[in-house]
């Protein structure tokens, strides 16, 4: 037996259950074996008293998909874990801190568009290093889509995740399907390329072009949508996903509601502000703005355009609130507007953490009037956002840093404060 056929690659950690208290683990191997997950307390360095879980194996992309679930970890508990095969192969172990399942505080990161066929994830690694250095309280991260350039390439997943394994195995991920997960030119004939790398307990759905799901973490209800439906409709979500969305948001009971979707509804890039390329964004506005307003969605996080963008609050009828009340306070040493009870959802795009930085469009007045912030990415820089929630206040910091020396390139912060009953 060649044990290298069972060596774990592309090891991912995510949220398995909607309740946010169990964690999906996925890894790829060359051949089908007898996969196993082991997890224990952080101090059990030699795995003398682990929980052992037999994994499940299925067909992946040029590899076998192995998956298992971590359960029974209390919020705040440090969990040491590893995966492998009963033949004796094991991955390096990793440690993560279980995020809160309740309470009123949460810190997390937001990345988008890490795809990078030239540097194998090393640019994303620069963003990670800066983020963990500046925001050590981080407990998880959201990715707004396009983790790799060619989602049908096992090698690109292997290199991207391999070069960032120390981070993606230490912080559970909320993945979102990007166009590189559903545009056929990036798939090499495969389908369900995103779900081939994650283990999430999904509602019944077709995963060919992406996945949709929700998770309650701390004071936040996260709803992750799939803009992969555009492959079938061209300009909107399918009725099945919309029905699921309405039911999901109607049942949500957390103080904050955040939606993640790759294709922007509001963005200063071409997919948000250049006709006819932005037709999908305009159609999604008509389809979703009323739903977001009706169920009190506070923020919509997106990607796709590889720029920095922040909308004004968007009302149910798609009009913007430019006269919102605010106070100026410090966020991480930066003067920031803290919006008081905004009248609609804020749409935010956190730039690009790969090597495909872009410039904003020459915005016409109709698009410019919807955006409070619109900035191009700088050359040889990566960006991300950090969000911190403490009770009635959400604070977001966008950071852009040089991939050459890690120096600060730009920073921007804003906040939301709810004074009305949440």
How much is the pLDDT for 422? 52
- Of 211, 239, 243, nearest to 226 by C-alpha is 211
**pLDDT tens string 243-281:** 999 999 999 999 999 999 999 999 999 999 999 999 999
Residue at token pair 């963008």: 309
The segments of the chain whose pLDDT lies below 50 read: none
Contact, 363 vs 374, CB < 8 A? yes
How much is the pLDDT for 137? 96
94-97 β-sheet, strand order: 51-54, 35-41, 78-85, 94-97
Residue at token pair 């007898």: 34
- Of 264, 273, 303, nearest to 368 by C-alpha is 273
Q: Which residues of 328-345 are buried (b: 16+ CB within 10 A; e: fewer)?
A: eeebeeeebbbbeebbbb
**pLDDT tens string 144-167:** 999 999 999 999 999 999 999 999
**Where would I find the beta strands (DSSP E) of 60-201?**
64-70, 78-85, 94-97, 105-111, 141-143, 173-175
pTM of the predicted structure, to 2 decimals: 0.97
Q: How many CB atoms are closer than 10 A to CB 44?
A: 14
- Average pLDDT along the chain: 97
* Cα–Cα dist 397/131, whole Å: 10
* Cα–Cα dist 385/400, whole Å: 9
How much is the pLDDT for 93? 97
């Amino acid at each position: 037996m060649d044990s290298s056929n069972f060596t774990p690659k592309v090891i991912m950690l995510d949220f398995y259950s909607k309740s946010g208290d169990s964690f999906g683990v996925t890894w790829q191997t060359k051949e089908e074996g007898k996969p196993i997950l082991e997890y224990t307390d952080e101090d059990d360095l030699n795995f003398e008293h682990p929980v052992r879980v037999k994994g499940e194996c299925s067909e992946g992309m040029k590899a076998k998909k192995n998956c298992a679930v971590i359960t029974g970890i209390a919020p705040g508990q440090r969990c040491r874990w590893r995966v492998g095969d009963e033949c004796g192969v094991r991955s390096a172990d990793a440690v993560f801190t279980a995020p809160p399942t309740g309470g009123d505080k949460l810190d997390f990161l937001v990345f988008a568009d890490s795809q990078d066929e030239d540097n194998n994830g090393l640019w994303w690694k620069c963003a990670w290093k800066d983020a963990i250095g500046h925001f050590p309280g981080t407990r998880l991260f959201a990715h707004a889509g396009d983790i790799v350039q060619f989602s049908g390439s096992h090698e690109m997943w292997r290199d991207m995740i391999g070069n960032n394994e120390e981070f993606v195995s230490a912080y559970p991920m909320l993945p979102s399907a990007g166009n590189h997960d559903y545009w056929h030119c990036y798939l090499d004939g495969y389908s369900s390329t995103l779900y081939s790398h994650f283990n999430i307990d999904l509602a019944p759905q077709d995963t060919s072009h992406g996945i949709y799901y929700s998770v309650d973490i701390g004071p936040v209800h996260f709803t992750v949508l799939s803009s992969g439906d555009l492959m079938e409709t061209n300009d909107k979500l399918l009725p099945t996903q919309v029905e699921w969305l309405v039911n999901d948001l109607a049942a949500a009971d957390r103080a904050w509601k955040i939606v993640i979707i790759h294709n922007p509804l509001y963005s200063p890039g071409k997919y948000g502000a250049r006709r006819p390329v932005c037709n999908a964004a305009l159609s999604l506005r008509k389809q979703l703005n009323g739903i977001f307003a009706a169920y009190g969605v506070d923020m919509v996080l997106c990607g796709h355009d590889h720029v920095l963008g922040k909308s004004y609050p968007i009302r149910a009828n798609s009009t913007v609130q430019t006269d919102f009340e605010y106070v100026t306070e410090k966020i991480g040493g930066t003067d920031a507007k803290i919006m008081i009870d905004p009248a609609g959802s804020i749409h935010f795009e956190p730039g690009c953490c790969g090597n495909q930085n872009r410039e904003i469009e020459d915005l016409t007045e109709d698009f410019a009037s919807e955006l409070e912030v619109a900035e191009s990415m700088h050359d040889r820089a990566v960006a991300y956002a950090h969000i911190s929630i403490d009770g009635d206040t959400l604070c977001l910091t966008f950071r852009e840093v040089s991939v050459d020396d890690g120096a600060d390139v730009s920073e921007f912060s804003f906040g939301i404060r709810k004074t009305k009953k949440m």
